[in-house]
Structure 1
């Protein structure tokens, strides 16, 4: 093997330099088309809700935390809790534009 390399060193070097030549680099794949504009989505959370809804929610929750007669898991409310729950349920979460 060593003898073969000694006898053909110039041809082997020419082959190696041709393989490493920058003109023989295969072209990069074509980029995939990306949409020009992504559709916008509006996700409703407490952070994006209307100020009226947040106020109604806060009043309802604050009442529940202090009232011994209200128990939300079984929908048992005092008169004030029932009124606050009705206001909370009827207030739209979406901000009006």
Structure 2
């Protein structure tokens, strides 16, 4: 996961969370480049070489069991992006989206 400076306020299309200008946004390389091209993210602040895509290896049931609410929002978004761009298994994607939705709802009290 990489950390970027937010240049322009935006709402993440996966998490629906709003990211304010000047805050730090954590995402993978591909999503970071996409948001930089659109003018939402500035320079790369920190790059993490750790990749979590090995969690996505295996059958759908094992993958769903391995992905829990203990993962951070950034990790879940990264896994969602990786799954969308590779195998795109509906059950895995809907599980990750439900966890992202739960994280979003729990922060709204």
Query: Which TM-score band (shorter chain)?
Result: 0.3 to 0.5
Normalized per residue, the structure richer in strand is 2
Normalised by the length of structure 1, the TM-score is 0.33
Normalized per residue, the structure richer in helix is 1
- Asked which structure has the greater CA Rg, the reply is 1
